[in-house]
Chain A
Amino acid sequence: MSTPLLEVVDLHAGYGAIEVLRGICVTVDEGEVVSLIGSNGAGKSTTLMSISQVVVPRRGDVRLAGESLIGLRPDEVIARGLVQVPEGRRVFARMTVLENLRMGAYLRRDADAIARDLRHVWELFPVMEERKSQLAGTLSGGEQQMLAIGRSLMSRPRLLMMDEPSMGIAPILVSRIFEAISRLNREGMTIFLVEQNARRALGLSRNGYVMETGRIAFSGPASALLGDPRVQSAYLGA
C-alpha cells in the first residue's frame, strides 16, 4: 500500500486549559476528496489549524507524504504544499483581487508558472478576472470565497484544505463553489473538505469523517455515511 498524502495520527490540540482535539486520526489519499463533517464547536477548524501548524499540536503527528510537519512554521508547511482556505474566507479586504492572488504565490519565484496559474484561476472563476482591480472587501461573500480559493490555488498546493467554503453564501453561489471543488478534483487536486453542508460535501467525497466534541466519532465511505441513520438524523436533517 502506498503512503497516504496526508496522515493525521492521534492529534491533540487546544487553547490554554481547554482541550479541543482529543486524538484525531484522518487519512487522505492522493487524488481524493475527503470530508470532515460535524456540528459547530466540534473542533473542525482547530483540526485544520493544527494540521497547518498555526495552532501548535500538543500530541500526535501530522505527515504529508510520509514526512512529519510537527515543529514546522506555518509558512514551511505551505512551502511543502499543504494549503488551507480559511474559515470565513479571510481575504485581505483592503487589497485588490489581483494583489490577494499574488499573496497566494508569495513563496514562489517561478514567474511563468505563476502567470499560468493565474490564468487557471480566471478560467475557474471568470468573475475574478472582471474584478481584478477591485478591493476584495467590496466583493460579495460568494465572490470572496472564490477569491479565497483562487488565492490558495496560487500557492500550487499538493493538498488543498477548505474550511466551510459554503458558509454564509447565497445558495446559487454555493453550487458554483461546489462545482469548482469538483472540477479541481477532476483535474487531480487532492482536497480535504470541512463542511456543515454534509449532503453536498459527502456527495463529492470518497470518504468521510464525522467529528463530535474533539474526536472522530465514526468514518467510512461517503456513500455509506450518506445512508447511515446516525448521519441522517444529526447532519442531513432526515
Chain B
Amino acid sequence: MFDFEVLVQQLITGLSNGMIIALIAIGYTMVYGIIELINFAHGDVFMLGAFFALTLMGVLGMESWGPGGQAVGVAAMLVGSALFCGALNWSLDRVAYRALRRSSKLALLVSAIGCSFICMNLGLFWGGLPMDVFAGGVAAAAPKDFPALVPQVNLLGESFIRITPADALVFAVTIPLMVALTLMVNRTNLGRAMRAVAQDPVAASLMGIPVDRVIGATFFIGGALGGFASVVYSLYNNTIGFQMGTRAGLDAFTAAVLGGIGSLPGAVLGGLTIGCVRAMSDQYLETRWTNTIVFCILVLILIFRPSGILGSSRKEKV
C-alpha cells in the first residue's frame, strides 16, 4: 500500500536539502551570469566554509555553551563562514580569474578547475590539523562529525511526520537570504550595476561602472551565500568532509542549469527540484541510483533545453 506520510516526509527532506542546494546554485548562477564562467571551485569554497565553521566551533568551545549560547554560536558560524567564503571566492577571482578576463573562456574554466583542486587539498590539509573537532587530525581524509547544535527533536510532537529545528533553520536562513538578494539585485545601485555588467560589460564600463570591482562583489556575494549554505548543511547533515564540495557542487550546478543558468529564480526552482528528486530516488528507488538520476537530468537538460526552465534564449534587438 502506498504510504502517504512517507511521501510527505520525503518531500520535507527534499525541500530542506533543496533550499541548501539552491543557495549554492545561486553562487554558480550569479558568477555565470556576469562572466560566463562555471566557477568549479564554488563547491569547494562551500566545503571550506564548513571546515571554517567547525574550527570556529572548536576554538570557541561552543559545544559546552548553554542553549542560548549555542544559538549565538550558530549565528556566529553563519556570519563567520559567510565572510570567510565571500573573501575566499573574491580572492579566487582576484588571483586566478581576473587576469584571464580577455582570454578564452576555456582558459578561465581550466583555471577554475585548478582552483577547485587547490581548495579541495586545502580541505584535506585542514582536516589533518591536530584539533579535537577533527578527532585529533589523525585521519585527515576521514569524514568529520559536525556536532548537532540544533536539537534533533520533532517540532510536531508525537506525529509520524518529523519537522526538526534543523529543517526550520534551513528555511529561516535560506528564505530571508534569497529575498534580500532579490531586493539587492533589483533595487540597489550595486545590483543594477551587476545586471548591467552581465548584459554588456563594455557599455557598463562606458557608463563609469568599475567592472572589475562589480565582478569582485559578485564573487563575494556568491561565496558568502555558499558560506551560509555550508553552515546550514553541516548542522543539517552533521558530517563534513573534504570531498563534500564535489557532490554538493555538482548537485547545485545541475540545479542552476536545470533552472536556467544566469537566472536567480531558476536556481531556486532547480535546487528545490533536485532536492526533491534526490529524496524521492532515495526512498522509492535506491540511494545508489540517486547520483545517476541527477546526472541524467543534467545530460538531458544540456541536450534538449540548454537554456533551462526559466532561462531565455531570445535574441535582443541590436
Nearest residue, chain B, Cβ from A139: B317
A103→B207 CA distance, assembly (Å): 7
Q: Known contacts being A137-B316, A144-B317, is A95 close to B206, with CB within 8 Å?
A: no
**CB of A57 within 8 Å of the partner chain:** no
B317 near A103 with CB under 8 A, answer: no
CB-contacts of B181-205 with A (<8 A) = 189, 192-193, 195-196, 199-200, 202-205
CB-contacts of A3-47 with B (<8 A) = none
**Pick from A104, A139, A141: contact of B207, CB under 8 Å:** A104
**Pick from B189, B199, B316, B318: contact of A106, CB under 8 Å:** B189
A102 near B205 with CB under 8 A, answer: no
A73 near B196 with CB under 8 A, answer: no
A92 near B209 with CB under 8 A, answer: no
B203 near A90 with CB under 8 A, answer: yes
B192 near A103 with CB under 8 A, answer: yes
Q: What residues of B have a CB within 8 angstroms of the CB of A103 in the complex?
A: 192-193, 196, 204, 207, 209
Nearest residue, chain B, Cβ from A52: B206
**CB of B210 within 8 Å of the partner chain:** yes
Number of interface residues of B (CB under 8 A): 20
**CB of A78 within 8 Å of the partner chain:** yes
CB-contacts of A101-115 with B (<8 A) = 102-104, 106-107
Q: What residues of A have a CB within 8 angstroms of the CB of B66 in the complex?
A: none
**Pick from A74, A99, A138: contact of B206, CB under 8 Å:** A74
Residues of B within 8 A of A (CB): 189, 192-193, 195-196, 199-200, 202-211, 316-318
Residues of A within 8 A of B (CB): 52, 54, 73-75, 78-79, 83-84, 86, 88, 90-95, 99, 102-104, 106-107, 137-139, 141, 144, 151-152, 155
A and B contact pairs by CB, cutoff 8 A, 8 listed: A75-B208, A78-B206, A84-B206, A86-B203, A92-B204, A106-B209, A107-B208, A137-B317
